[in-house]
Structure 1
Amino acid sequence: MTHPTFTFDTLKDILREGAGADPDTLTDTLLDTTFEDLGFESLALLETLSRIERQYDIALDDTALTGTATPRALITLVNEQLSGAAA
């Protein structure tokens, strides 16, 4: 059974909608740059996580905010949740 995949492009869209990010400045070369270094505050990340949960009908635990310091880590976490939800 296939499950939806959470991509960097999807994350950029959600960051644009929820945190006012300019998607043109978010390139795949920044996947391992911390959200803090990218200029995202914790409130912007909370809004981002909330949008991901609603859009993909998953529940991210508290470590999603503290344990996913980079876009790559967040994408990995969401995809792990999606594959677990589909199982």
Structure 2
Amino acid sequence: MSTPQFALADLTRILLEGAGADDGAALDGDILDQDFDDLGYESLALLETGSRIEREYGIALDDDVFADNRTPRTLIAAVNARLSASAAV
């Protein structure tokens, strides 16, 4: 059985679903290494994003996942690491 992968398209979709389409303009282009604050996503929006990721992918994320991963690139890597760890159990 293959491990599901979390990609940039998944993250942008979840961010848009949680914050609304009007806030999505900042998600066009090369955003992988931009800080979430610079993209317009503050702590409350990121908490909602984390909750949506957990529900959709059936994983639990550490409380500090967004504090430790301030860009889409590092968050995607953290989610994929958690997905891999869950699949190994």
TM-score relative to the length of structure 2 = 0.89
The equivalent of 1:84 in structure 2 is 85
Q: 2:26, 2:40 within 8 Å by CA — same for their partners in 1? A: no
Alignment of 1:7-26 (within 5 A): 7-20=7-20, 21-22=23-24, 25-26=26-27
Mapped contact 2:59–2:82 kept (Cα < 8 A): yes
Asked if 2 retains the 8 angstrom alpha-carbon contact of 1:8 and 1:28, the reply is: no
**Identity score, percent:** 55
SS in 2 for 1:30: coil
1:4 aligns with 2:4: yes
| Residues 25 and 38 of structure 1, relative CA distance in 2, 3 Å threshold | closer
Corresponding residue number in structure 2 for 1:52: 53
Structure 1 consecutive aligned stretches of length 4 or more whose deviation exceeds 4 Å: none
Instruction: Please tell me the residue identity of whatever aligns with 2:2.
Output: T
- Which residue identity is paired with 2:85? G
Q: CA deviation at 1:17?
A: 0.3
Q: Residues 4, 28 of structure 1: CA spacing in aligned structure 2 closer, same or farther, 3 A cutoff? A: farther
Counterpart amino acid of residue 45 in structure 2: A
Contact 2:59 2:86 in 1 (8 A): yes
CA distance in 2, matches of 1:2, 1:50: 23
**Which structure 2 residue ranges, 5 or more long, are not aligned?**
none
